[in-house]
Structure 1
Amino acid sequence: MAQVINTNSLSLITQNNINKNQSALSSSIERLSSGLRINSAKDDAAGQAIANRFTSNIKGLTQAARNANDGISVAQTTEGALSEINNNLQRIRELTVQASTGTNSDSDLDSIQDEIKSRLDEIDRVSGQTQFNGVNVLAKDGSMKIQVGANDGQTITIDLKKIDSDTLGLSGFNVNGGGAVANTAASKADLVAANATVVGNNIL
C-alpha cells in the first residue's frame, strides 16, 4: 500500500518568514540598543573592516594626544625649574655687584658670600629634585622621545641638559677670595655665561 506524506507548504513558508522577521527584528533591536549600524561582521563585513581600522586609528590618536600632553607637562616642569634657577642667578649677580664696591668690610663680604653659597645650594637642590613622573629632568644630560602620532616615526624629542652650579661654571664661586673664583670681575663674567646657559636651555 502506497504511503502518502501530507505537507503543509503554506505553514512552512509562513514559519520561514517568521524566522526571517525575528532575525531582522533582533538585528534592529541590537542596533537601537547599541546606537551602531554595524555590530558584527554579519551586518556588513566590509563596513566592519573599515570601522575596525578607523577605531584603531582613533584609539592611537587618543593615546598620542595623552602623550603630547605629558610632553607639554615635562616641558612646563622643566621651564619652571629653569625659571627658579634663573631667579637665583639674578640674585647672585646682584650680590656680586654689591660686593664689587670698596666700601664693604670683610664681614660684609662674608655675609654676601654666605648668601651666594645658599643660592648656589638652592640651584643644586632644584636641579637634583625636579622630576616628572620619577624622571629627573635637570640632573643629567639626556633626551626624551614623545610619541605624538598614531603611526611609527611620529615622534618629537625633548633634549634635557644637566643644569647645576658645576655645569654653569659656578663651582667655588665667591666674592671674598676664599674659593676658586677669587675676584668679582671674573665672578661677573661667569654669571653672564651661566645665565646664557640657562636661557639657552629654555625648551618651550
Structure 2
Amino acid sequence: MSMVINHNLMAQNASRNLSTAYGNLSTSVRRLSSGLRVGTAADDAAGMAIRELMRANIASMHQGVRNANDAISLLQTADGALSVIDEKLIRMKELAEQAATGTYTSDQRLLIDSEYQAMASEITRIANSTDFNGIQLLNGNLSSSTHDGSGVVSRGKMKIHFGTANDSAEDYYYIQIGTATASALGVGNQADATFGGFAISTQSAAQQALVAIDKAIVSKDNIRAALGVLQNRLENTITNLQIQAENLQAAESRISDVDVSNEMTEFVRQQILTQSAVAMLSQANSLPRMAMQLLGG
C-alpha cells in the first residue's frame, strides 16, 4: 500500500471495524440488561411475530384460569344456598310427619302448617335472593337450555369462556342451574294445589306431603349434583390451562429470552474487538505524521 496524505485508508478501515464492534457490543449490553434476545424486530422478525402471538395466548390463558375460578365461586355460592334449602326441606318433612299422625287436632295442624308455609316461603326467598355479582342463580334465570349472548344482558344458561379462541369443543361450556323456589320444588302454598306438598293442614294432606317433599329433596339434590359435576370439571379445566400456559411460556422463553452464558461470551468478545479497534484507530491516525516526516526531510 502506498503512503498517501489525501486519505487515511487504515484509519477508515479501523473506524469501520470500531463502529461494527461497538454496535455489536451495544446490542450485547441491551440483551444482557433486558434479558431478551429479541428486543426489536430487527433481532428476529419471525421470532418476534411468533412470540407476540404466544404472549397473547399466555395472557388469555391466565385470564381463562381467573374466569374458571370465578365460575367455581359462583357454583359454590349456589351450592351453599341449596344446602340451606336442604335444611328447610328436612324441617318440612319433619313437620309433615308430625301432622300426619292422628294425635293432633285440626287447630294444632294449622299451627304446624303455618310453620310449614313459613319454611316454604323461606326457600323461595333464598332462591330469589341468591346471586353472584348481581346474577341470580336459583330463581330460574339460568335454567334455560339455550343461551343468547347477543344483547347487553345475556339470557338463558351461562357461558363460561376460558379458552383462547371461540371453539365450543375447546374454549367454553355452559352452566345451567335449575330453579329452586318452593313452587318449582312442588312444596308450599305457592305450588300447584294438585301437588301433594301444597299444605299439611289435614292429616291426609300431610301424608301426601311426605311423598312430595321426598320428590322436592330429590330435585334439589339433582341440582346440587349438577353443580358438583361442573365444579370438578372446572377444576380440571384450570389444571389443564395452567399446564398449557406453563408450556407455552417455556416455548416463548426459548424464542425471546437471552442465554446469559452465551451472550456474556459474545459481550467479552465484542468488548475485546472494540478495545482493539480503538487502539488500532489511534495508531492509524498517527500514520500521516510519517509522511510529514519524509516531506520535512
TM-score under structure 1 normalisation? 0.88
Instruction: Give me the whole-angstrom Cα distance separating, in 1, the residues matched to 2:80 and 2:132.
Output: 12
Q: Give the conservation status (yes or no) of the 8 Å contact 1:85–1:126.
A: yes
Aligned to 2:104: 104
User: Which has the greater radius of gyration?
Assistant: 2
Q: How far does residue 107 in structure 1 lie from its aligned partner after superposition?
A: 4.2
SS of residue in 2 equivalent to 1:183: helix
Give yes or no for the alignment of 1:191 onto 2:206.
Answer: no
Equivalent pairs counted in the alignment come to: 198
Instruction: Give me the whole-angstrom Cα distance separating, in 2, the residues matched to 1:30 and 1:84.
Output: 61
Q: How far does residue 124 in structure 1 lie from its aligned partner after superposition?
A: 1.0
Q: How far does residue 42 in structure 1 lie from its aligned partner after superposition?
A: 0.9
Q: How far does residue 13 in structure 1 lie from its aligned partner after superposition?
A: 2.2
Q: Give the conservation status (yes or no) of the 8 Å contact 2:86–2:220.
A: yes
Calculate the aligned-residue CA RMSD, in Å.
2.0
Q: Give the conservation status (yes or no) of the 8 Å contact 1:78–1:130.
A: yes
Instruction: Give me the whole-angstrom Cα distance separating, in 2, the residues matched to 1:27 and 1:194.
Output: 72
Aligned to 2:11: 11
Aligned to 1:156: 173
SS of residue in 1 equivalent to 2:103: coil
1:109-148 mapped onto 2 (5 Å cutoff): 109-140=109-140, 141=143, 142-148=156-162
Aligned to 2:24: 24
Residue in structure 2 matching 1:175, options 181, 200, 209? 200
Structure ranking higher on relative contact order (CA contacts 8 Å, 6+ apart): 2
The structure carrying a bigger helix percent of its residues is: 2
What letter corresponds to residue 46 of structure 2 in structure 1? A
SS of residue in 1 equivalent to 2:104: coil
Q: Give the conservation status (yes or no) of the 8 Å contact 1:174–1:182.
A: no
Between 30-39 and 100-109, report the one with greater CA deviation.
100-109
TM-score under structure 2 normalisation? 0.62
What letter corresponds to residue 196 of structure 1 in structure 2? V
What letter corresponds to residue 165 of structure 2 in structure 1? N
SS of residue in 2 equivalent to 1:7: coil
Runs of at least 5 residues in structure 2 that lack an aligned partner in the other structure: 144-155, 190-197, 229-297
CA deviations on 1:65-108 (whole Å, 9 max, x unpaired) are 11111121121111111111111111100111011121223443
Q: Percent identity?
A: 35
CA deviations on 1:121-153 (whole Å, 9 max, x unpaired) are 211111011111110011123311111222222
Give yes or no for the alignment of 1:69 onto 2:69.
Answer: yes
1:45-60 mapped onto 2 (5 Å cutoff): 45-60=45-60
CA deviations on 1:8-41 (whole Å, 9 max, x unpaired) are 2222222222322332222222222221111111
SS of residue in 2 equivalent to 1:161: coil
